Structure 1
Amino acid sequence: MKTTPIILLVLSISFLPLAISGLPPLIRLPTNPNLIDAILDTDGNPVVAGAKYYAIPALIGVEGGISVANPDTGNPSACPTDVVINVTLAGQEPPAVSRLLTFYPLKLEAEASRAAADTADIIIEQYPLNVAFDSRDPSDPCAKENVWKLNDEAAIVTGGVIGKEDDLDNWFRIQNDINGRGYLFNWWPSLCLGCRIGYFRIGTVGDGHQLGINYRDEALYPFEFVKAE
């Protein structure tokens, strides 16, 4: 048939290496705690769900990390909602500080079949998760505004919901920075684990402090994760 060469061509293209095609990698669910897909903290241990971490700059000579700031609304009493990178040069006073983060990965029925129960909470590269600032004071009126989400301008703000699968704005992923040390946050327009759908990397936008989707892959900001003691 005349269509056979076309079919063969389509099949051959579909099996091109992902690095060549520019598509994100397929998700491989964990089967043991030593899987290379696990996100690691600065001590070399897997990052786990529910624990508290600082996301610090993966840059030598820079201190600080991810924090939250009050948007320029003219209302200083409003809850801070802008997710920002807060940094200073090492040794500069006062040093920039970051806020503690906690990760909540997507829960799937299939995960119940994992061979080892102690691997279920390991954060895996490119696996959907919610990100939330730690609420140190539950009585704080802003404590409910701690979960990350994308706003209409594709900037990251608080006010998201943990576990709400029908709202993709609440879900992020973490990937290894192949161009350097540390990890990058990104966002996919899907929660599908095996789908080869393009994703958007998170960098600095606007004034250079706000975090959000950087469509041109400029000003990307890699982080390392330090587990809180």
Structure 2
Amino acid sequence: MKTPIFLLVLSISFLPLAITGLPPLIRLPTKGDVTNTILDTAGNPVVAGAKYYAIPALIGVEGGISVTNLNSTTNPSACPTDVVINETIAGNQPPAVAVPLTFYPLIDEAEASRAAADTADVITQQYPLNVAFDWADPSDPCAKENVWKLNLQGKIVTGGVIGEVDKDNYLANWFRIQENFDGRGYVFNWWPSLCLFCKIGYSFIGTVGDGYQLGIDHMGESRYAFELVKAE
């Protein structure tokens, strides 16, 4: 049953996308191109499975991407589900705190043999990946609800799955990272080129609603630029 995918694609297709066009179908960037490698603030390649803070690319701003419950009435879950920006001006007390992220790139059959020979899977620009919060306590029940997905309102929430490409709801779980051509750092985008029948372009991720939650930046004015700091 393809209903969840059609609803998601239909809802996003009616948004005024930041950038439109027809994405290539199942054609992925070349991971061997080192110019496409995502780098952390120390200049090292960002790798799958490691922990990173997505801090603001703006100088003088602290914090980064975090997770919370923005509305406990409409979201009765005991676990935080809304992916948000938590920021303060540098020097303010208490300083804003981010939650570490971990990236899981798509691995198809061709990539599987290559990845098996690598000591670390380097994250490449515009390559499909899943994003997950790293929970401090793995035994916490909320640790099982840590993977990003795009909901039908175009907002990013947790509750996604890692590595799933053959079920009805897989489309919502995949994001990409690209260079921020308007300034420092990188930006996230949502680009459903894994979907054979999707005829919509990709969309940048920025702040939506009250300016804190991350989601589709359909006005092209609020994209969130970040840098990645490796967590100790």
Give TM-score scaled by structure 2 length: 0.81
How many pairs align? 206
| Matched residue type, 1:82 | D
SS at match of 1:185: strand
Aligned to 1:111: 111
Is there any run of 5+ residues in structure 1 with no aligned partner, and where?
Answer: 1-20
Question: Are the structure 2 counterparts of residues 224 and 113 from structure 1 closer, same or farther at C-alpha, using a change threshold of 3 Å?
Answer: same
Relative to structure 1, is the Cα distance of residues 225 and 112 closer, same or farther in structure 2, using a 3 angstrom cutoff? Answer: same
Change (3 A) 1:76 1:96: farther
Point out the more displaced range, 80-89 or 210-219: 210-219
Which of 198, 201, 207 is 1:198 aligned to? 201
Deviation at 1:178, TM superposition (A): 0.7
Paired with 2:76 and 2:155, the residues of 1 have a C-alpha distance of 20
1:228 to partner: Cα distance: 1.1
Partner of 2:41: 42
Equivalent residues of 1:30, 1:114 under 8 A apart: no
Q: Distance in 2 between matches of 1:128 and 1:170?
A: 10
Change (3 A) 1:214 1:78: same
Q: 1:14 maps to what in 2?
A: none
Counterpart Cα distance in 1 of 2:30 and 2:209: 36
Which amino acid is the alignment partner of residue 122 of structure 1? Answer: V
Structure with larger Rg: 1
Measured after TM superposition, the shift of residue 164 of structure 1 is 1.1
Aligned-partner SS, 1:72: coil
My pick for the range that moved more, 65-74 or 142-151, is 65-74
2:221 to 206, 218, 221: 218
Two-structure CA RMSD over aligned residues (Å): 2.6
Corresponding residue for 2:231? 228
Distance in structure 2 (CA, Å) of the matches to 1:97 and 1:66: 8
- The answer for the alignment partner of 2:157 in structure 1 is 157
Whole-Å separation in 1 of the counterparts to 2:183 and 2:54: 16
Quick check: 122-131 or 110-119, which moved more? 110-119
Specify the alignment match of 1:52 in structure 2.
Answer: 51
Q: CA deviation at 1:76?
A: 7.4
Secondary structure of the 2:141 match is coil
Q: Tell me the CA shift for residue 77 of structure 1.
A: 6.7
